[in-house]
Amino acid sequence: MRVAHLADLHLGFRQYSRLTSDGANQRETDVSQAFRRVVDDVIGQAPDVVIVAGDVFNSVRPTNQAILVAFHEFRRLDQSLPGVPIVVIEGNHDMPRSIETGSILRLLEAFDGVRVVTGAAEVLTFTDLDLSVTCIPYASIVADTRPCMTPAPGYQFNILVTHGEIKGVLPGDSGQREYQGAVIEVAELAAESWSYVALGHYHVARPVAPNAWYSGSIEYVSTNPWGELRAEAAEGRKHQKGWLFVELGKNAEVEFRSIELGREFVDLQEIAGSNMAAEEIDRIIEQHVLGIPGGIDGKIVRQLVRDVPRGISRELNHRRIRELKAAALHFNLDVRKPVVNREVGFGSPTLRQTVPELLLDYLSRRPIDADVDRQQLLNLARGYLSGLDEQA
């Protein structure tokens, strides 16, 4: 039994203000192209079943371009893999916020081979493959009564598909707060009782058990790609996105298949700016940028500079910074002020956040509607706060 496992397509994802020649958001186009490459590769591997573990779209009300891309690519899968079941479940980004809204995923049921599961859990059976697929979409995980994760009896192959956060798997740094969602205990999965567990929600491909995997996203579609890059490096993959090709037999043999991405993400070496003059910081930034293989054009780049007082930050060469922003698809100069320890309570030294820091921290983790771009919200907040002085 050969299984294609993918998840977190996030079609319709938009980021930054750059447009293509035909007026589309460049990052949305990057994501669409990544999905086309995944579909090409899946078709080439000729699986027996295709599993999409949630978050086909980036929002409940996706863009017209996202809907067209999804319709075209799922039609290609259906026509190129005749008789192969394509199972799609609802993720947290796909889940309607009201009954009246309905699910855009139902559009995919226009194709004979596509089975869509939204809302309540459902067991799909494919007798010719001796296969049962237990589908537990995000909505059923956050329901008052969570369905039991138990394989259907009488089948050689049993696959569990769900979309949520497996407890203890996601990194603990603040950059992962956007993954807040339904938490599933590892024991609750009972991975040993399944042939395979296909997970969606976390954007980095990694195992939870030998036969239970997150496939990761097909592109960098979070507000913190830098955290994903670190997590991928820890898994032995540098700047790689893709899908999983799984061979089921006595054991599950999982192959990560990477795809070509539309552009490079570059996280430049961090600069410790304490006691540096603005001119010295400018010089180091320029050295780092010139050291990027192939240059900065069209890439997404971050330069983190720590411990820089507000006055020094204002003296940086902002004209040059604007030139870098124009050359890259996105250049993020992340300048952070020195951390200050204040005496709080009975004299114990405690790190105390400023009012702007508290607000940005709150906005970075509070639940928001799926069709709201968190990064744009944070950028807007930073713009409003940029003129404020640090407050006690």
- 3-class secondary structure for the chain? CEEEEECCCCECCCCCCCECCCCCEHHHHHHHHHHHHHHHHHHHHCCCEEEECCCCECCCCCCHHHHHHHHHHHHHHHHHCCCCCEEEECCCCCCCCCCCCCCHHHHHHHCCCEEEECCCCEEEEEHHHCEEEEEECHHHHCCCCCCCCCCCCCCCEEEEEEECEECCCCCCCHHHHHHCCCEECHHHHCHHHCCEEEEECCCCCEEEECCEEECCCCCCCCCCHHHHHHHHHHCCCCCCEEEEEEEECCCEEEEEEEECCCCCEEECCCEECCCCCHHHHHHHHHHHHHCCCCCCCCCEEEEEEECCCHHHHHCCCHHHHHHHHHHCCEEEEEECCCCCEEEECCCEEEECCCHHHHHHHHHHHCCCCCCCCHHHHHHHHHHHHCCCCCCC
pLDDT in tens, 166-219: 988 877 543 444 555 678 999 999 999 999 999 999 999 999 999 999 999 999
Tell me: do 251 and 348 sit in the same domain: no
Tell me: do 250 and 274 sit in the same domain: no
Query: What's the number of domains the chain is made of?
Result: 2
pLDDT for 378 equals 72
Residue 322 lies in a domain: yes
In this model, does residue 237 exceed pLDDT 70? yes
Tell me: do 305 and 341 sit in the same domain: yes
In this model, does residue 97 exceed pLDDT 80? no
Residue 56 lies in a domain: yes
Least confident interval from 12-26, 76-90, 146-160, 175-189: 175-189
End position of a domain, from candidates 259, 279, 301: 259
Residue 390 lies in a domain: no
Residue 392 lies in a domain: no
Least confident interval from 56-60, 181-185, 204-208, 358-362: 358-362
pLDDT for 180 equals 58
Model confidence at 328, pLDDT cuts 50, 70, 90, reads very high
Domain range enclosing 136: 2-259
Tell me: do 23 and 166 sit in the same domain: yes
pLDDT in tens, 62-82: 999 999 999 999 999 999 999
pLDDT in tens, 274-295: 999 999 999 999 999 999 999 9
Tell me: do 91 and 175 sit in the same domain: yes
Tell me: do 127 and 158 sit in the same domain: yes
pLDDT for 390 equals 37
Residue 337 lies in a domain: yes
Tell me: do 118 and 138 sit in the same domain: yes
End position of a domain, from candidates 232, 259, 286: 259
End position of a domain, from candidates 244, 259, 274: 259
Tell me: do 81 and 163 sit in the same domain: yes
Tell me: do 290 and 241 sit in the same domain: no
Tell me: do 8 and 131 sit in the same domain: yes
pLDDT for 391 equals 36
Residue 261 vs residue 102, higher pLDDT: 261
